[in-house]
Amino acid sequence: MQTFPMFLTMNQRTVIIAGGGEQAAQKARLIARTTAGIVLVAPDLDPELAGLVGAGRARHLTDPAKADWAGASLVFVATGDAARDRALHHLAKQRGAALVNVVDRPALCDAFTPAIVDRDPVVVAIGTEGTAPVLGRNIRARIETLLEPRLGDLAALAGRLRGAVEAGIPHEGRRAFWDWVFRTVRPADGIDAAAQQIKTAIAAGGPPPPAGRISLIGAGPGAADLLTLRGLRRLQEADVIFYDRLIDPAVLDLARRDAERISVGKEVGGNAWPQDRINGVIVAAARAGKLVVRLKSGDPGVFGRATEEIAAARAAGIAVEIVPGVTAAAGAAASLTRSLTERGETDTLVLTTGRCRPGDPSPDWAAHVSPGTTTCFYMAVGAAPQIRDRLLAAGTPQDIEVDVIVAAQSAEERQLAGRLGDLPDLVSGIGSGAIIVLRWPKAVSRRTRVASVAARSHALAQHRHYAT
């Protein structure tokens, strides 16, 4: 390690920024967030820097010789001109400046500006010793997604309540108390609610017994980076994770290292993990005071059997929530680089399924598939012949577009394109995990309307007759 990371107190300190353009403005934005005084050294200033001077947040010197280089705690040289940067670096060091940073010139730097994640008073700094600043910024972006936006508010509240904790919580229990605060109290719910939750625990002499919670989280259709930020945070809070068969292992890697992981994936036609058993284990874990994540592919509310798990949780008196995810139809459309709807052509979007409860009749597909509609079929590969036959019998044109996206948004993704009349052949050999997308634009309807209306009306009447 050639550099030593350190946080400097900035009260009563001065920072000199030599330069009057965008590079200097970037450094000024950082320092203006601290309590340090700012001196801008440049013949002219851009409007942003001039605004800092006008607001009294910075002083402006046009002559570098008049700057107190030795009195500055930190100097940034940021003119954007290589020769000018070197000259100002030489002047600053000659006049006694201890720490000088010349932007984009590591060989002239005594200190490097880290990539910063700011949740004041919580600050995370990422440094690469000047070798790879873009990497530092990429790491910062990842950490930004991990930390609650209002985490700093919670840290500041903890600082204000530290004395009350010392007075109300025995010494041997304080570490566990603060662990409870930072694992359980959610600043996103509001800092007033957080304060009341902590004060109630202080008055009681310690945190309440662990209260279980179940979060039904949509992991998206495949790629781990399609997980939402809220889903990521719940994963990192979880004590135990029950996950589906189609979940990308990279999603599980985002969870707490010590979280228990249990696969409850159901193979098509199998019953190793029937729904009643899944309901039982997630409720039992929550009753034991654990934070439970039920991780589902796609979105829990779209053919994810969320209703049954919510009902089981509520019957047991356990708090439950849904964290939505990117549903498979949206992931499939994104893979095709195509909108699911098109103004004036496909103004209606239908999500339906090819598989229902045992003994239940199939959905009325022919009633849903109509001109101006995009229809997405979930879990429908096995029902492809019936879907085709029903739709054709109802007068749906056999040449309308069909796309089949297998394992959308994953490394194993495949795309197949064809026509409704060829649907069974198109999906031949495909297992589960495919979405069938059928588009019937109004333009196609206008060409086929006369020929299809009579046949469609007759077929719908017949289908409803047999269904009853």
Annotated catalytic residues are 244, 266
* Among 193, 164, 221, 204, residue whose Cα is nearest residue 335: 221
Count, residues in the chain: 468
What backbone torsions phi and psi does residue 354 show, to the nearest 5 degrees?
-100, 0
For residue 184, what are the CA distances in angstroms to 202, 211, 319, 323? 14, 10, 14, 17
Contact assessment for residue 110 and residue 101, using Cβ atoms and an 8 Å cutoff: yes
